[in-house]
Chains A and B, each alone.
Chain A
Amino acid sequence: MNGELAVSGKTNPQNQRDHVGALFVQHVPQIRRFILNLVPDMVLADDVLQETYLTVSKKADEFTRGSNFLAWACTIARYKVFEESRRNLRTGKILSTEALNAVCSAAPEVELFDTQERLEALNSCIGRLSPHAKQAFELRYHNAHSTSEIAKILGWTVGSVCVILSRGRKTLRDCVATKLRLKENGF
């Protein structure tokens, strides 16, 4: 699967831009997920997504129809993440460029990221979180709050928030793994 969308029409520059724009929209969830894999700050990740969009639009003519759009867009997104890394040296917001290089060299194929199956499994595992964890997760992933903001809102310490989130993620990881294993075995 290459994520190509069949769009009729001549390949004039405007058509090509529309075509690429449409492909981008189609793949926004995956591209955003790719960026979030590397950039934990959700506001920053959206800035990177925006920058990626602008560059993809600008370079629309360079995209060959029928080729793998998602891979192409994620390559551009990766460059944008590197740019961010250079700007955010040592702020802890993002990996250093050296670490990014190392991490990206071990990146799985973009199509293998977060399959729908995993997403569904994760979605159904969220119910397993404790009420406290649910509050923290909602504030973190729904409202995009930082741990210090969550601590302030819930009246906890930052350390407690980190621990709750960490334990919650472990619960979710285990739950997803179990569900996928069961599914694989035909349950």
Chain B
Amino acid sequence: MDSERFQLLLDRYFDQSLDDEMAKEFDQFLLSSPKAREMFWQQGSLHAMLRQIGMESWTPKATDEHQVVRSASAKRSSLGRRLGAALTAAVLIGVCGYAYFATQTSSDSVASNDTGSSNAVSNPSQSEQAHSANPSTAGGTSTASVASRSQLSQKPNWLAVLRSQFNVEWDNPAEEMIAGEAMNRRRLKFSTGQIEVQTNRGVTINLEGPADLEIISGMEVVCRKGRLRVDVPPPAIGFVVRTPQFDLVDKGTTFAMDVNGNKKSEVLVIKGKVEIVPGAKGTQRLELLEGDAIGISDGVVSNASSKEASFPSSNRLQSIIRQSNSLEFNSWRRKRASLSSAADCIAYFDFQRDADSNNLVNRSLHADSSGTATIVGAKWAEGRWPGKQALEFRNPFDRVLFSLPEKHKSITCLASVRLDSLEYQAVALLAPFEAENHSFRWNIVPSPDMYGKGHLQIQRFMNDQWRSITKASQSPFLQRSRLGTWGQVAFVYDAEDRIYKEYVNGRLLCQRNLSQASSRAIAELQFGQMQIGNQPESSSSSTAGLGHLVGRIDELAIFRRALSTDEVRVLQLGRHATWTNEGDDSDWNSSSNWCRGLRPASADSVRINRPGKDAAVSTDATIELSSVSVGMGEGSAGQLRITGGEFRANEHPQWVSRVGAEGGEGFVSHEQGEARFSALQIGLGGDSFGRYRLDGGDLVVTRDFETKVGKNASLSIGIYGGTGRLEIASGSLTTRKGIRLGQTGGVGTFLVEGSKPERIHVGSYNDFDGYWYQESASTLDVRIDAGGVTPILIKRFNDEPGDGALDDGNVTFKEGSILNLSFSGAPRSGSWDVMRWDGELLEDGLKLAQHLDNETWSFDFVDTDDSGSPDTLRVTANVGK
């Protein structure tokens, strides 16, 4: 045997580059030579091991287009790291993320004692932002074998379910949960919002953030922080809530608690009785009866004045959720109208029942066919919200049949699905009634690598066989704990640009270059006689392993082109609008300037990623939003001009507005009128740059946002590696709480330009304490004009002591924080107060900017009221010295 020749053929075979002649020669070698067969196994083994190492080096987590690219380049562990070189072009070709119906969680796995303490790099508070991948977890499950072992240990043993939630800001976005999700032992940490959890023993816990609750069993939880109300039914008498200071043992009751770690905690018995069991600090054993309220601090028990109404309750939560559902439903109705009339939409089924309940109307006004689908077996049921209808698929016979005699090189399909079961068969969401060349089917497939999880799959029928158009087995989007919950799924097939993308809940889950999957993928997809939720019975092997849907669908839309990520996001996310300026007139009120014509309604969140002449301009109207993001996402740039009227982005009390986030560049030019934000973050995340210039009008920050380090801030400038800049040239600034300048690797600049600003009041809105916290390398930049400079006032209104370090009108300058001084106009000698505070000064090392002349400039902390502690930052210039 010619070993050299055979080795060459072997290499070519495993590199898929044998031509026909070589293939015949190769076969011949294998048929005739035992040595060839031995070499074949050796080479195959090497090929397989290299692939395994290659796969294990890949730890996909990203869920956004930009993050997909970024994280892919950062994803080289093992082989990747050893193979080293940066391959930007390569990683752009095809990468898939790893997200679920919402995001990854560890609910299947047994929680460790400290599962919740991760460092979220991005800081999403809004629902759509909350899906951000958490880079801190990017090195998570990395190998199939590791995943396998962990999966094996997760014999599902559901201890509790998250029954409902509202406005929850999870500490670790990667561990976000969704309503309806079951959980094993698990730690729930969130900064804001309210959740309702029910254990498998029937105990209902309503918990309000900031909170830290760990489910230990159906009869035991650990609460480290949070305000909660617990309703214990008879089967769960003896239920225990452990806190850092004491344990509470239920004796058949309803009770409420306010737990604050090692600080004072309170207990109120609403009904029945409880027993307090002392912790390490020796609180005596206590039995509390209905109406009793106590506080416990350092083992000392005191009376408390807790009132039932001040604790979270199921009724209140359900009431809020009802309101929210109503808003979501209205938002969906607006989108429905837009989809029906969209020229690129070839089929749109809204799953709202008409008089003829056996039919489902194709609402697309541009549908070519008769437009009616036939319901076979499936039953009407409730959809995502009350009032929204759906079809429920249960039996193997259930399906919806429709005709769509079209063939396209690029298509987009979106569906809203509730999967109730995923066993060992792939589920057909959309499939042809009879397969022919170029037919395609859209499946949810159980993942062989990850037991109990599923991924999306598109297969195309060619030459009597079904083939995946792209590799998808590493993109699970569903896990067992989320069965029975709603999710939005979509795929974009674009043979023109050779791109395939998958989306889940508005986030890009997977992006691949079709050429990678071989040339067979580059072709048209054929519709025809189609069906939703099922596959025709067939003995053919081509349909083997494909099952029917067990679950519900309440919306399906098919487009004749590849939608952009912005478009998919807008269509999948509720209450969300994206600025495009496609109308080219920058008019906020013109639908043509919004993605898919969907102008934001009151309480929507808005994304603006167009700069310069395409900037969004709000004029003299009143605009009411929940939040706005200007320049969000890697490589994006956005600009907003506020030129009058009232721009209110505070309809939702806990949604944060952002200028320059997640790698984007944002600029807000505030020229006139009033702008209100619940909380404002400028420059958030690595490679982000945000700038807010106040040149007139009033900027008011009405709420605050819990920072991951320290107390709530109304205004954060330069966070998590981002660069932020707030410039005040005129007008006024008022905040509810404090200002943080620089945080977790970010750098912030706060510029006051002279005396034109009417006022700068930190903490004066709604009588809350303000504070100023300036980190190392962040700058307070002051320009003195002819009138001097408008001082920054750090107000203290609440006499109750706060946490000391930040609250209470305090001012903190960390070591290396910078004071930059200059003149606007002619230089002159004098002294000016640039900041005054009602609280304390915590000064670790404020220094003048390096370029300043120490002979000319100096600063002092001055005690102006002889209280014994400084209350003013005063700067002095000695010109001509």
Bound Cα distance from A83 to B821, whole angstroms? 77
Q: Are B83 and A122 in contact (CB under 8 A)?
A: no
Specify the chain B residue showing the minimal Cβ separation from A44.
B467
Cβ-based interface call for B49 (8 A)? yes
**Which of B86-94, B185-193, B311-319, B374-382 interfaces with chain A?**
B86-94
**Residues 1-45 of B at the A interface (beta carbon under 8 Å):** 7-8, 11-20, 22-23, 26-27, 30-31, 34, 37-38, 40-45
**Residues 97-153 of A at the B interface (beta carbon under 8 Å):** 98-99, 102-103, 105-108, 113-114, 118-119, 122-123, 126-127, 129, 131, 134-135, 137-149, 153
**Do A162 and B473 contact each other (CB < 8 Å), given the known contacts A36-B51, A138-B83, A139-B87?**
no
Cβ-based interface call for B53 (8 A)? yes
**Residues 774-803 of B at the A interface (beta carbon under 8 Å):** none
Q: Are A122 and B41 in contact (CB under 8 A)?
A: no
Bound Cα distance from A185 to B552, whole angstroms? 63
Q: Are B448 and A53 in contact (CB under 8 A)?
A: yes
**Do A95 and B27 contact each other (CB < 8 Å), given the known contacts A137-B83, A169-B11?**
yes
Bound Cα distance from A161 to B52, whole angstroms? 21
Q: Are A103 and B41 in contact (CB under 8 A)?
A: yes
Specify the chain B residue showing the minimal Cβ separation from A134.
B83
How many A residues face the partner with a CB closer than 8 A? 84
**Residues 392-429 of B at the A interface (beta carbon under 8 Å):** 423-426
Report B606 CB to chain A, min CB distance, Å: 36
Cβ-based interface call for B879 (8 A)? no
Cβ-based interface call for A75 (8 A)? no
Partner of B20, one of A28, A92, A146, A162: A92
Q: Are A43 and B152 in contact (CB under 8 A)?
A: no
Interfacial chain B residues near A40, Cβ < 8 Å: 13-16, 47
Interfacial chain A residues near B27, Cβ < 8 Å: 95-96, 98-99
Cβ-based interface call for B484 (8 A)? no
Q: Are A93 and B82 in contact (CB under 8 A)?
A: no
Specify the chain A residue showing the minimal Cβ separation from B450.
A25
Specify the chain B residue showing the minimal Cβ separation from A124.
B82
**Do A114 and B48 contact each other (CB < 8 Å), given the known contacts A29-B144, A138-B79?**
yes
**Do A144 and B471 contact each other (CB < 8 Å), given the known contacts A43-B517, A108-B41?**
yes
**Do A143 and B93 contact each other (CB < 8 Å), given the known contacts A55-B545, A83-B541, A126-B53?**
yes
**Residues 144-184 of A at the B interface (beta carbon under 8 Å):** 144-149, 153, 158, 161-162, 165-166, 169, 172-173, 176
Specify the chain A residue showing the minimal Cβ separation from B89.
A153
Cβ-based interface call for A90 (8 A)? yes
Partner of B471, one of A34, A46, A105: A46
Bound Cα distance from A70 to B83, whole angstroms? 31
Report A178 CB to chain B, min CB distance, Å: 15
Q: Are A47 and B468 in contact (CB under 8 A)?
A: yes
Partner of A149, one of B50, B54, B516: B516
**Residue-by-residue, is B83-124 near A (CB-CB < 8 Å gives 1, otherwise 0)?**
111010111011000000000000000000000000000000
Q: Are A149 and B91 in contact (CB under 8 A)?
A: no
Q: Are B48 and A34 in contact (CB under 8 A)?
A: yes
Report A29 CB to chain B, min CB distance, Å: 5
Q: Are A142 and B144 in contact (CB under 8 A)?
A: no
**Residues 67-91 of B at the A interface (beta carbon under 8 Å):** 76, 78-80, 82-85, 87, 89-91
Report B147 CB to chain A, min CB distance, Å: 8
Cβ-based interface call for A32 (8 A)? yes
Report A76 CB to chain B, min CB distance, Å: 12
Partner of A162, one of B12, B145, B148: B12
Q: Are B93 and A149 in contact (CB under 8 A)?
A: yes
Partner of A33, one of B23, B52, B76: B52
Which of A118, A135, A173 has most B Cβ within 10 Å? A135
**Do A149 and B515 contact each other (CB < 8 Å), given the known contacts A118-B49, A119-B52?**
yes
Bound Cα distance from A30 to B94, whole angstroms? 25
Q: Are B52 and A25 in contact (CB under 8 A)?
A: no
Cβ-based interface call for B58 (8 A)? yes
Q: Are B79 and A126 in contact (CB under 8 A)?
A: yes
Interfacial chain B residues near A147, Cβ < 8 Å: 15-17
**Do A143 and B517 contact each other (CB < 8 Å), given the known contacts A25-B448, A34-B48?**
no
Q: Are B471 and A92 in contact (CB under 8 A)?
A: no
Report A141 CB to chain B, min CB distance, Å: 3
Bound Cα distance from A139 to B31, whole angstroms? 32
Interfacial chain A residues near B42, Cβ < 8 Å: 173
Report B865 CB to chain A, min CB distance, Å: 66
Bound Cα distance from A146 to B48, whole angstroms? 15
Q: Are B426 and A139 in contact (CB under 8 A)?
A: no
Cβ-based interface call for A37 (8 A)? yes
Report A42 CB to chain B, min CB distance, Å: 6
**Residue-by-residue, is B460-472 near A (CB-CB < 8 Å gives 1, otherwise 0)?**
0001110110110
**Residue-by-residue, is B203-246 near A (CB-CB < 8 Å gives 1, otherwise 0)?**
00000000000000000000000000000000000000000000
Interfacial chain A residues near B517, Cβ < 8 Å: 43
Report A25 CB to chain B, min CB distance, Å: 4
Report B17 CB to chain A, min CB distance, Å: 5
Report A177 CB to chain B, min CB distance, Å: 10
Q: Are B23 and A90 in contact (CB under 8 A)?
A: yes
Partner of A17, one of B40, B78, B424, B516: B424
Q: Are A123 and B78 in contact (CB under 8 A)?
A: yes
**Residues 508-552 of B at the A interface (beta carbon under 8 Å):** 515-518, 541, 544-545
Cβ-based interface call for A74 (8 A)? no
Which of B11, B20, B45 has most A Cβ within 10 Å? B45
Q: Are A166 and B8 in contact (CB under 8 A)?
A: yes
Interfacial chain B residues near A5, Cβ < 8 Å: 152
Interfacial chain A residues near B12, Cβ < 8 Å: 162
Which of A83, A98, A142, A143 has most B Cβ within 10 Å? A142
Partner of B15, one of A54, A134, A140: A140
Partner of A99, one of B11, B22, B31, B449: B31
Bound Cα distance from A86 to B43, whole angstroms? 23
Interfacial chain A residues near B852, Cβ < 8 Å: none
Q: Are A54 and B82 in contact (CB under 8 A)?
A: no
Cβ-based interface call for B200 (8 A)? no
Cβ-based interface call for A11 (8 A)? no
Q: Are A135 and B85 in contact (CB under 8 A)?
A: yes
Interfacial chain B residues near A126, Cβ < 8 Å: 53, 79, 82-83
Q: Are A139 and B90 in contact (CB under 8 A)?
A: yes
Bound Cα distance from A90 to B41, whole angstroms? 21
Q: Are B451 and A122 in contact (CB under 8 A)?
A: no
Q: Are B87 and A37 in contact (CB under 8 A)?
A: no
Q: Are B85 and A43 in contact (CB under 8 A)?
A: no
Report B78 CB to chain A, min CB distance, Å: 7
Q: Are B18 and A92 in contact (CB under 8 A)?
A: yes
Cβ-based interface call for A82 (8 A)? no
Report B12 CB to chain A, min CB distance, Å: 7
Which of A22, A27, A131, A138 has most B Cβ within 10 Å? A138
Q: List 24 A-B contacts (CB under 8 A).
A: A5-B152, A24-B451, A25-B147, A25-B152, A28-B448, A29-B143, A32-B144, A41-B518, A42-B51, A106-B38, A126-B83, A131-B85, A134-B85, A135-B85, A137-B54, A138-B76, A141-B53, A145-B90, A145-B93, A149-B515, A162-B17, A166-B7, A172-B46, A172-B50
12 additional A-B residue pairs with CB within 8 Å, beyond A46-B468, A95-B27: A24-B448, A25-B450, A26-B149, A42-B471, A50-B448, A53-B446, A122-B53, A127-B82, A141-B54, A147-B16, A158-B17, A169-B46
A interface residues, Cβ below 8 angstroms from B: 5, 17, 21-22, 24-29, 32-38, 40-43, 45-47, 49-55, 57-58, 60, 83, 87, 90, 92-93, 95-96, 98-99, 102-103, 105-108, 113-114, 118-119, 122-123, 126-127, 129, 131, 134-135, 137-149, 153, 158, 161-162, 165-166, 169, 172-173, 176
List the 8 closest A-B pairs by CB distance, nearest first.
A141-B54, A57-B424, A37-B44, A53-B448, A54-B545, A36-B48, A138-B83, A33-B48
B interface residues, Cβ below 8 angstroms from A: 7-8, 11-20, 22-23, 26-27, 30-31, 34, 37-38, 40-55, 57-58, 76, 78-80, 82-85, 87, 89-91, 93-94, 143-145, 147-149, 151-152, 423-426, 445-446, 448-451, 463-465, 467-468, 470-471, 473, 515-518, 541, 544-545
